[in-house]
C-alpha cells in the first residue's frame, strides 16, 4: 500500500526548532484478511519530540467504518505511545487524564495525557487519535509542553 504522509504544520514545526528525524511506513496490525498500515513522520529537537501518523485499514473500510473502530485505535495508540516513551527513557510514567479536543479540520480527537521523567527532567506528553476521511490520524509528542497546537494542525 502506497500510503501518503499525514499533513503536518511544517512551518510551525520549523519555527519551533523541530527537525524531521523519521518517515516510516509499517503494518501495525493484522486480523484475518484485514490489516492496519501506518505512515509516521517524526520530528525532534533537543528537549522534545512530535509525531504524526496516517493509519489506513485494508481492505478499505465502508463509509462510517472508522467511527466504529475509534476506541480500538485509541487504546492501541495509547499503548504504543507508552512503549515509545519508555524506549526514550521515561520513568515515573503516570497517566494525567483523557479529554477531547477539536482539530482544525473539524473532527473531534481523543487525547490521553501523561507525566513522566526522562533523563532527570519532568516532561508532559500526549497522544491523540481521530477519524479522518475513513482513515485515522494519530499525533502527539513529549517535552516541557504538550504540542497541542501542532496536533490540531495535522491533516
Report d(CA 133, CA 6) in Å as an integer: 12
Flag whether pLDDT at 67 surpasses 90.
no
Q: Which comes out higher in pLDDT, residue 151 or 69?
A: 151
- Determine the pLDDT at residue 59: 86
**Residue 140, helix vs strand vs coil:** strand
- The grid cell for 66 is 472508522
Q: What is the pLDDT of residue 62?
A: 81
The per-residue pLDDT for 115 is 96
Where are the domains positioned within the chain?
A: 10-152
Q: Is pLDDT larger for residue 64 or for residue 37?
A: 37
Give the global pTM: 0.93
What are the pLDDT digits (tens) for 129-144? 999 988 999 999 999 9
Q: DSSP of 104-117, one letter per residue?
A: TTS-EEEEEEEEEE
Region of poorest pLDDT, from 21-30, 35-44, 59-68, 99-108: 59-68
Answer yes or no: is pLDDT of 99 > 80: yes
Asked if the model's pLDDT at residue 127 lies above 90, the reply is: yes
Contact indicator for 113, 126 with CB cutoff of 8 Å: yes
What's the confidence (pLDDT) of residue 100?
96
Cβ neighbours for 63, distance < 8 A, ≥ 6 positions apart: 134
131, three cell numbers: 477519524
Q: 118: cis peptide before it, omega within 30°?
A: no
Task: Give the pLDDT mean for 63-87.
Answer: 89
Mean pLDDT of the chain: 92
- Alpha-carbon distance of 125 to 143, in angstroms, equals 6
Amino acid at each position: 500500500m502506497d500510503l501518503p504522509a499525514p499533513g503536518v504544520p511544517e512551518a510551525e514545526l520549523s519555527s519551533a526548532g523541530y527537525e524531521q528525524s523519521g518517515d516510516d511506513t509499517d503494518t501495525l496490525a493484522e486480523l484475518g484478511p484485514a490489516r492496519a498500515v501506518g505512515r509516521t513522520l517524526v520530528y525532534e529537537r533537543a528537549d522534545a519530540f512530535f509525531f504524526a501518523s496516517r493509519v489506513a485499514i485494508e481492505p478499505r473500510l465502508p463509509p462510517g467504518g472508522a467511527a466504529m473502530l475509534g476506541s480500538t485505535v485509541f487504546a492501541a495508540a495509547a499503548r504504543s505511545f507508552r512503549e515509545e516513551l519508555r524506549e526514550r527513557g521515561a520513568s515515573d510514567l503516570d497517566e494525567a487524564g483523557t479529554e477531547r479536543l477539536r482539530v482544525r479540520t473539524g473532527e473531534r480527537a481523543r487525547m490521553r495525557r501523561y507525566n513522566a521523567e526522562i533523563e532527570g527532567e519532568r516532561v508532559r506528553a500526549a497522544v491523540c487519535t481521530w477519524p479522518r476521511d475513513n482513515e485515522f490520524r494519530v499525533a502527539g509528542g513529549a517535552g516541557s509542553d504538550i504540542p497541542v497546537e501542532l496536533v490540531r494542525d495535522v491533516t
